[in-house]
Amino acid sequence: MASIAAVNCRLCPSVPTDVIDEVSSYLLPEEVTALAQSNHSLQRDVVYLNIQREVANFDKLKDSILKIFGGEGNTPIEIRSIFQLDEKGTSDIKTLATLRAKLEELQSALIRNFPFEQLSPQQLVDLYHSEKPRFFNIFNTFIEEQLIKHFVNGNCPENRTAALLAVKVNGEYLQFGSDEIKRDKEIVLEAITNVDVFALMDPALRGDLDIVLKQAKNYGSIYLSCARGASSQEKRELALSFLDKDNNYAHLSDFEFYLKLMDECPDIYLLAEDNLLFNHHFMLEVLKKNEHAIIKGELVDNPDFIFELAKVNGVLALRIASDEVKNNERVVFRAIVQNRQAVRLAGDEFLNNRKNQIRLYGCLNYYLRGAHVRPPRFNLLKVMVPTLILTSMAVMLDIYNWR
């Protein structure tokens, strides 16, 4: 028996068909194709170079594993036997096939015998990053699981490798990381892939354009508002990236640019500059396209802006208006003229005003429409006493005339 490293892998001009058929289950499709093409020696040479590389990596892996077990004598015999290969009658291509078969056995044996509980998180990270054969996937997956357990249990909150592996499985695992991990852009971007981690990431990252873009694409355009600190040009580029559009709008002003893109994304106006978000004309156009748009405080306190909006949508105008504007007679009656149901949103001061009650009750039958408007209150005595006096006088006059 000889070590795999002792096997001499040589470049060969061709490989017999029966040999290829024998080991094809251990080869990649492109390797089988390359070996079968006898007139393409360069492609065959690439396959043999891969064999040499895998044999060398396998030997390095052997040294690493024996070191972890404390030497060859302390290594379980099940694992030691796998690290050896019978050189007799083995061709180069069969070496590759045998090697990959041994890898499958070795991975299962390591999972059964490896002292994972005795390794620190950093030792697991070193083992994870160690150079291993190309097909050594199962063991790597098992190491990943061990690292994730350590990270979630709080054993290595600052370990970047463990954090990256953990958030790939579940972005919410970001909460177990240190402050430095929560500031790591690559880790946060990976976490965003499978869960909304806006509340978990470091606040300093919330305005990063790459994070804003991915967050908005995955969890809603409302996150575009987080890019407030970017320049006007950066915001325009972000809007185009969010909608996957080419930059065919360079000739448009910001006013025209955002209103045009709102046809595809009603929340894209959130990227507009403050001078537009306080512009009456711009925000009126925005509200026509998106009734749920967020309005700045100065506009909801402005009776002129609400009055103009009431001409288009009376209910919406009073819904977003401040309490003071909801009691403005000019604004409220303008809203009611546009939509009678707007009276439901009028302020208490307006509704309790006797003059307004008479105008509303006398002009519009709101009771039949279910609106919450009380009829004007009348003093019964003031009405009934004069009525009784006049009725009594009329009766007495009739009696007198009858006589």
Q: Tokens for 293?
A: 């748009």
% of the chain with per-residue pLDDT over 90: 35
pLDDT at 86 over 60: no
Is the pLDDT at 372 greater than 50, yes or no? no
Q: What is the reported pLDDT for 228? A: 82
Asked whether the predicted pLDDT for residue 224 surpasses 70, the reply is: yes
Is-contact 280 288, C-beta < 8 A? Answer: no
45 pLDDT band, cuts 50/70/90, is low
> Would you say 18 and 9 are in contact if contact means Cβ atoms under 8 Å apart?
no
Q: How far apart are CA 153 and CA 173, in angstroms?
A: 10
Residue with the two structure tokens 């040499």: 52
- Model confidence at 103, pLDDT cuts 50, 70, 90, reads confident
3-state secondary structure (DSSP) of residue 15: coil
Sorting pLDDT into bands at 50, 70 and 90, what band is 81?
Answer: confident
Q: pTM of the entire structure?
A: 0.65
Range of weakest confidence among 94-108, 174-188, 289-303, 365-379:
365-379
Amino acid at 230: A
Average pLDDT over every residue of 286-303: 88
- Spatial separation of the C-alpha atoms in residues 260 and 252, rounded to whole Å: 9
Task: Report the chain's mean pLDDT, rounded to a whole number.
Answer: 78
d(CA 170, CA 173): 6
Angle in degrees, CA 22, 24, 27, rounded to 5: 140
The pLDDT, as a whole number, for residue 107 is 76
Q: What tens digit of pLDDT does each residue of 227-281 get?
A: 988 999 999 999 999 998 888 888 889 999 999 999 999 999 999 998 999 999 9
Q: So what's the pLDDT on residue 59?
A: 73
- Tell me which residue of 282, 261, 265 sits closest to 273, measured CA to CA: 282
Whether 92 has a pLDDT exceeding 80, the answer reads: no
CA pair distance 160, 178, nearest whole angstrom = 10
Q: Write down the residue that tokens 């006898």 correspond to.
A: 38
The neighbouring-strand residues paired with 85 are: 2
Judge whether residue 365 has pLDDT over 60: no
Map out the domains of the chain as residue ranges. 1-114, 116-205, 207-289, 295-377
Question: pLDDT band at residue 380, thresholds of 50, 70 and 90?
Answer: low
